[in-house]
Structure 1
Amino acid sequence: MTTHPDAPRILVIQHEDGTGPGLVGAETDAAGLVPHLVHPWRGEALPATLTGYAGLLVLGGAPGAGDDETAPWLPAVRALVREAVGTGVPLLGICLGGQLTALALGGSVRVRPRGPEIGAVPLRRLPAADGDPVFGSVPDGAPAAQWHWDEIAELPPGAVPLLTGADCVHQAFRVGPRAWGVQFHPEVLGAAVADWARSDGPAAARAGADPAAAVASVRAAEPELREVWPRTARAWAEVVRSYARR
């Protein structure tokens, strides 16, 4: 596919191997957005600012949102999050990206006292989801793929909760007009979760989770996952395109 020279560019931050943009990236590519994918754990430098970018996509990963010693690029990511919200650049933070968004803006993140949440989990719409430009079409009870040991304990001041779950309260939220964070993984299907189960499953099992059941639940939910979450990714891509046209 030939890229138009004026196509909007988005900065995509990946925190480790095996946690790429997946379904979300496929939809942003199809929408004509040009990704600049940075792998800071490999030593690749993050841009100092978002100048020249029409969107910021922050992906998931194993580090904690405040693990600056083990993941020394995280302060720079949080600074870019604050810049995005302060300037109105569209932002989507996924799992760790959502936690970084919350922490950067004055919320808090904690290790889950109940152990990891893994597998396909049904989400509930909250009233503010009505009319939201990205999550407004998510049906009540839609399944979402989960694999996280930490969770957002408190949303930032002024954040609007959009989706919740029975075991993890803050599943999706909006800050300002064009910034969103999610705790779940809209970018993955069963194959990715199976990979995570091979690497992280033994620790999850020791913590009381059932990795095999988690993988099976995500595989069973794939028809709904393919219907719901690419649609939200397309909606976010349209927010980016509208911002770029302003």
Structure 2
Amino acid sequence: MSKSVYRVHYIQHVPYEGIGYIGEWVKENGCELSVTKIYEEHLFPNPETFDLLVVMGGPMGAYDEDIYPWLKGEKEFIRQAIDTDKAVLGICLGSQLIANVLGAKVYPAKEKEIGWWPVTFTGSIAQELFGSKEVSPAVFQWHGDTFDLPENTKLLASGNICPNQAFLYKENVLALQFHFEATEGSCNDIIDNGYDEQAVGKYIQPKVDILDGFCHIPESNRIMKTILDNLAKRL
């Protein structure tokens, strides 16, 4: 880690979708941690007060500014963090917001992806950044939207339903459509608050299959640790 104290700020959109394993990494590395909770009264901090911005997920769409007017301000804040060369990590909705900020279109996917579905890592940069020998791991997916690949970015992962699952902008802005940060607790929180027993779809797993997929959590967290270590080295 290039700094003696690494400062992490994250944006949380709903009470039941926190930072999962990222919180463990923060503690292990003695980092400073701060948060903006969108669902409470909030002000965004000065980008000079953090080194890494993590933008978490949520059920809203990146294009829903008419329904959620605060999205405009959040996008401006993400743009400011990118322009001041902060490390930025977007997960699920966070990845869609980064894509939109970089000029790409975000829109409903052909199918919702809910559960443990594989993505395929593309290129040597993905292997280096993720530190994974497995080319197509099963990852925790929970989204109905997808995005076009922004200009001047590198595609890092793709899937059957959503060809753009992860990308890198410059060397320090990473967008992940899926959840390497997932823990048993964070998965259960999302299931308890977002799973529709009546939902039917080819890529919507039964709840029992999602719970069985918890065996993939250790490898997902190992990859997230590698990602965070690598982002820290690039500052």
Q: TM-score range by the shorter chain?
A: 0.7 to 0.9
Distance in structure 2 (CA, Å) of the matches to 1:234 and 1:124 = 19
Query: Which deviations, in whole Å up to 9, do the C-alpha atoms of 1:133-154 show, x marking residues without a partner?
Result: 3x242621211111111111x1
1:207 deviation in Å? 4.9
2:128 counterpart (116, 126, 132): 132
Cα distance change of structure 1 residues 196 and 237 upon mapping to structure 2, 3 Å threshold:
closer
2:113 pairs with 1:121: no
TM-score between both structures, scaled by the size of structure 1: 0.84
1:131 deviation in Å? 5.0
1:120/1:214 contact within 8 Å kept = no
1:232 deviation in Å? 2.8
- Alignment-mate amino acid for residue 223 of structure 1: C
2:214 pairs with 1:219: no
Cα distance change of structure 1 residues 243 and 217 upon mapping to structure 2, 3 Å threshold:
same
Pairing 1:70-89 to 2, within 5 Å after superposition:
70-89=67-86
- Alignment-mate amino acid for residue 118 of structure 2: P
2:20 counterpart (19, 22, 31): 22
SS in structure 2 opposite 1:112?
A: strand
2:11 counterpart (10, 13, 21): 13
1:226 deviation in Å? 1.3
TM-score between both structures, scaled by the size of structure 2: 0.87
Q: Which residue of 2 aligns with 1:3?
A: none
Distance in structure 1 (CA, Å) of the matches to 2:41 and 2:203 = 34
2:201 pairs with 1:208: yes
Query: Which deviations, in whole Å up to 9, do the C-alpha atoms of 1:189-219 show, x marking residues without a partner?
Result: 45544443443333x73453686x4433333
Distance in structure 1 (CA, Å) of the matches to 2:33 and 2:68 = 22
Q: Which residue of 2 aligns with 1:163?
A: 157
Distance in structure 2 (CA, Å) of the matches to 1:74 and 1:59 = 13
Query: Which deviations, in whole Å up to 9, do the C-alpha atoms of 1:100-126 show, x marking residues without a partner?
Result: 000000111101233x21000011111
Runs of 4+ in 1 over 4 A off after TM superposition: none
Query: Which deviations, in whole Å up to 9, do the C-alpha atoms of 1:1-34 show, x marking residues without a partner?
Result: xxxxx62211100001100001122223322221
Identity %: 26
1:181 counterpart (175, 178, 190): 175
1:93 counterpart (73, 90, 94): 90
Distance in structure 1 (CA, Å) of the matches to 2:133 and 2:25 = 16
| Structure 1 runs not aligned, ≥5 long | 1-5
- Alignment-mate amino acid for residue 25 of structure 1: G
SS in structure 1 opposite 2:195?
A: helix
- Alignment-mate amino acid for residue 175 of structure 1: Y
Number of matched pairs? 232
| Structure 2 runs not aligned, ≥5 long | none
1:63 deviation in Å? 1.1
Q: Which residue of 2 aligns with 1:102?
A: 99
Distance in structure 2 (CA, Å) of the matches to 1:54 and 1:17 = 24
1:162 deviation in Å? 0.6
2:39 pairs with 1:59: no
SS in structure 2 opposite 1:42?
A: coil
Distance in structure 2 (CA, Å) of the matches to 1:205 and 1:28 = 37
- Alignment-mate amino acid for residue 60 of structure 2: P
1:27/1:230 contact within 8 Å kept = no
Cα distance change of structure 1 residues 27 and 160 upon mapping to structure 2, 3 Å threshold:
same
Cα distance change of structure 1 residues 200 and 241 upon mapping to structure 2, 3 Å threshold:
closer
- What is the root-mean-square deviation in Å for CA atoms of aligned residues? 2.3
Distance in structure 2 (CA, Å) of the matches to 1:33 and 1:240 = 14
